[in-house]
A and B are shown apart, each in its own frame.
Chain A
Amino acid sequence: MSALAALYAGYSSLILLAGVAALLALSVYVTLMAGQLSLGNAALAAIGGYTAAILTRDHHVPLWPAVLAAAAVATAAAVAIGIPALRLRGIYLALATLAFGEVVRAAALNLKITGGALGLINIPPLAGFWQVYGALAGAALFFYRLERSRVGRAFAAIREDEAAARAMGIKVTHYKVLAFAIAGGLAGVAGALAAHFAYVITPAQASFTEAVNILTFAVVGGTSTFVGPMAGGVLLTVLPEALRGLREERLLLDGAILMAVTIYCPNGISDPRLWRWRRARR
């Protein structure tokens, strides 16, 4: 066994969780690109996870068709809540999406098909390194192109000044719904993959805490380019495990990191200026 394989054997669940966190952070990032704050992504991921798990576990569908179905269902859900909710701005949108998340959580808790509080257990372990990081690489490539496309520029225009964007003839609502749809698809894929290496999915997947975690990945990583959310997702997943020795202080450190990053590096840890500055001093 090579050193790399040994490392993976010892940390695979952490490595996979980090990849999924990066995907989820990207799904929040795409709405932030268009200036929208969503707290519903955890619920969208849960919808994806449940969909895929039901397909593979009960109907023996292979992984990728199940993931695609999950993405489709989550996208549809995102568009369905997106169209009415996108009339709202800023914090109101955040609260509406939060309410949506709680409805999903309560529904998952009460429906038969989602297994109630127990959730779905014994999900076949179909997702491994290549599936998760393949999806992440695909998403990264997609964002690399998106940021440089007409759609990306439209998102940025809406984020900077919605009224001005509208005046320039950008179909604001159209682009907002598009951003929500992409977010839904990504969250659906992330949720579907996560369910297939965690063996279980439960209503807690859609909880407020989870939604806040995902947002935190993006903000700590930085939202100026797609690299930031990915870095944030990976870092904030690995860090608590790396700090396991400081067990008692874990929460405290998490909190301190969140505050320090938002206050002292407002553009996240991936801010190019932050790194340039370091290099310049050297």
Chain B
Amino acid sequence: MADLKLTDVEKAYGDVKVLSDINLDIKKGELIVFVGPSGCGKSTLLRMIAGLERITGGTLEIDGLVVNDIPPAQRGIAMVFQTYALYPHMTVRDNMAFALKIAKKSRQEIDAAVSRAARILQLDQYLDRLPKALSGGQRQRVAIGRSIVRDPKVYLFDEPLSNLDAALRVATRIEIAQLKESMPESTMIYVTHDQVEAMTLASRIVVLAGGGISQVGSPLELYNRPENEFVAQFIGSPAMNMIPGEVVETGPQTVVKLEGGGTARADIPTNDGDKGLKVNLGVRPEDLTATDGEEFLYRGQVEIVEALGELTVLYFKPDGRERPMLAKLPGTHAEMRGRNVKLIAEPDRIHLFHNGKSLLYR
């Protein structure tokens, strides 16, 4: 139930800067997801917000108050850990009540808060069990309950679903989404490396890479209008295809001549000076369709066909490319294997990048 503001936040271990220039405004009621490849510093950033890691530069404000030097407990945050971090020697009830006991709340208050959280998370019948007598999903619910009980301003989730098996992960993800819905006022920050979690839960996603923020935006913004090649390839699965090329026609639409002989028309405005600009054309596998026409974007031989029933993934021969071209076609196309196929995409589904930056955001 709070606004967060990060200004020029930076983290350095000795001389090594792992995070720098983090500027972020988080509004009350948002669910912000930090995603990024391993080692990008997303957990570190979360732990800095929690107060478990020192902020070595910049300021962190919660509700307008700079909290850099305020201990975790007084920041009004609660955190759910990847490994649950339940106190193994305490019952579920005591686990949830611990923070309130430390805060010297009255018995009635504690009981009320614990039973409310237990009701929300359907833990009523497990209150007197020890954590070791619970399943993984139940343990994570207790960990979430421990946060709810404290009624924090900000909820922090550090990869809460990574230790659960696939089925439980989906179920718990939905529970977290419902939890957020039942507490629309609460601010949540969620760290994950799982795209699906990021896309389904987030009101806004923060993509972290190379020690900084790569792009901030709603899930569909990131999907439809990635600011740079990294975000373009990180969001979406399988990753976006990249084909190098050169701008040959400018105007409200841009025409690009591509390596491999293809051409593409993109709904991206360019001006005369851009003629001859070296660009990378990005197109998502799911935006490609097979064509028999004269015009094509890419032509190649299909090497592997993954028929998944509802859709088919085609892997083309790499032909010297770093990664093979991929296309995702609806329906079943098992017969495509070994064939030469031409691909095309709609002009509004094409992305152009120069030096890694999208031409849309110039």
Partners in one complex: no
Interface residue ranges, A against B (CB under 8 Å): none
